[in-house]
């Protein structure tokens, strides 16, 4: 099954940003100025990160999105192509490429501010132009860093085409529209996003279980709540709710850990793995990613993961 090219293909619909990353002793308070210790400019965006993760972790990947006609856009495209990601559906818009301003503290926590730029030019018409790219996939991944109407168009097209559909609802500030949930096979929020989607506090694995149950009751088929070092709560159709413990590692930078999890999970599903095996594989990949700095630079390859066994 894993050798079938269509079976192993993942299409990512979403954002690409240039990440401007500063390290500081702690995260600044409102109105406060801190002295940082370092600066890096690296490719990012949740869509781009998840595409790179899926590619490095074993899938054939296509990227459907939009970059600017600027130096950042050229660098973002070249970075994907260097990972052997198909960029035929990556369009060039009129706006500058998206950017993300990221502060990472000594506890490996981060704050992020995003300027959408050309990501805002991904429209339902863009999705329609590249339906063949969706049709060629086994798994389609979406996030919320592009316009909502475009995300829904991608979810609806992927569902109509019979694909396995993953939504990473990031960033989420409110419940999803009710008509989105039937389009999604795997809803994968972190604890903050699960709280925003469900309207329930999520401060513990038990809270995550309640939030996931509420999202399932609202129509979500399967819900995976990622909890960082506390693991992943899985609420799946036809199975008992399960907490998957996270591998223990010394974290350096948690940026893109969630994206690594989603890319690894999708790559495994596309290759025919069970959901249980896909979750455990994705957790191992995310754990290895947090031992390194940066977004895409931290994402491991399948060979690195195999070597760590």
Binding positions = 17-19, 45-49, 145, 190, 226-231, 253, 255, 258-259, 289, 292, 294, 298
d(C-alpha 57, C-alpha 51), whole Å: 10
Residue 204 DSSP label = S
DSSP H helices, 115-256, are 124-129, 131-135, 148-160, 191-198, 205-217
Question: Is 259 a residue of the active site?
Answer: yes
Determine how many CB atoms are found less than 10 A away from the CB of residue 303: 10
119 in helix, strand or coil? helix
Residue 182 DSSP label = G
d(C-alpha 258, C-alpha 264), whole Å: 10
Cα-Cα-Cα-Cα torsion 254, 282, 141, 176, nearest 10 degrees, comes to: -70
* Proportion of the chain in helix, strand, coil states, percent, rounded to 5: 40, 20, 40
29 in helix, strand or coil? coil
User: Which strands form 90-93's sheet, in the order they lie side by side?
Assistant: 90-93, 60-68, 9-13, 139-142, 164-167, 186-187, 222-226, 232-235, 242-244
Q: Which of 86, 179, 259, 276 is catalytic?
A: 259
Q: Among 42, 235, 273, 229, which residue's Cα sits nearest to residue 138?
A: 273
d(C-alpha 183, C-alpha 13), whole Å: 15
Active site residues: 259
């Amino acid at each position: 099954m894993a050798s079938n090219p269509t079976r192993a293909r993942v299409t990512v619909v979403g954002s690409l940003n240039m990440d401007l990353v500063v390290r500081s002793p702690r995260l600044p308070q409102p109105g406060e100025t801190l002295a940082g210790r370092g600066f890096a400019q690296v490719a990012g965006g949740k869509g781009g990160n998840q595409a790179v993760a899926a590619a490095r972790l074993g899938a054939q990947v296509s990227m459907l999105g939009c970059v600017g006609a600027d130096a950042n856009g050229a660098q973002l495209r070249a970075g994907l192509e260097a990972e052997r990601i198909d960029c035929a559906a990556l369009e060039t818009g009129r706006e500058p490429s998206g950017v993300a301003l990221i502060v990472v503290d000594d506890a490996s926590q981060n704050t992020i501010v995003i300027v959408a730029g050309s990501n805002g030019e991904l429209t339902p018409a863009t999705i329609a132009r590249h339906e063949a790219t969706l049709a060629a996939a086994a798994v389609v991944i979406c996030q919320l860093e592009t316009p909502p109407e475009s995300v829904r168009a991608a979810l609806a097209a992927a569902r109509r085409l019979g694909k396995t559909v993953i939504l990473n609802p990031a960033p989420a500030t409110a419940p999803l529209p009710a008509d989105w949930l039937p389009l999604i096979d795997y809803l994968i929020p972190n604890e903050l996003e699960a709280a925003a989607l469900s309207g329930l506090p999520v401060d513990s694995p038990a809270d995550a279980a309640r939030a996931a149950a509420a999202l399932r009751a609202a129509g979500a088929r399967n819900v995976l709540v990622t909890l960082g070092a506390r693991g992943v709560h899985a609420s799946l159709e036809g199975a008992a709710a399960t907490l998957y413990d996270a591998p223990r590692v010394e974290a350096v930078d948690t940026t893109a850990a969630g994206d690594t999890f989603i890319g690894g999970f999708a790559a495994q599903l596309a290759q025919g793995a069970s959901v249980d095996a896909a979750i455990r594989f994705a957790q191992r990949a995310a754990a290895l990613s947090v031992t390194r700095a940066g977004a895409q630079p931290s994402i491991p390859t399948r060979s690195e993961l195999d070597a760590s066994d």
